[in-house]
A = this chain, B = another copy of it.
Amino acid sequence: MTDVAPARTAVVAPGVADGSCEALLSIGAAAARAGVTERSLRYYQELGLIVPSALTKGGMRRYSQADLDRVARIRELQTVLGLNLEEISGVLRNEDRIAEIKAEYQTEGLPDDQRRHLLDECLTLALELRRTVEAKQEALNAFVIDLDARIVRIRSAMNEIAGGAA
Contacts and interface: CB of A to CB of B under 8 A. Distances in A.
B82 A139 contact: no
Interface stretch (A8-16, A28-36, A63-71, A153-161): A153-161
Interface in A109-126: 112, 115-116, 119-120, 122-123, 126
Chain A, interface SS category: helix
B112 A126 contact: no
Interface string A119-147: 11011001101100110110111011001
A127 to B, nearest CB: 7
Among all A-B residue pairs, the 9 with the closest Cβ atoms: A80-B139, A119-B158, A123-B154, A126-B151, A122-B154, A112-B165, A133-B144, A80-B143, A112-B161
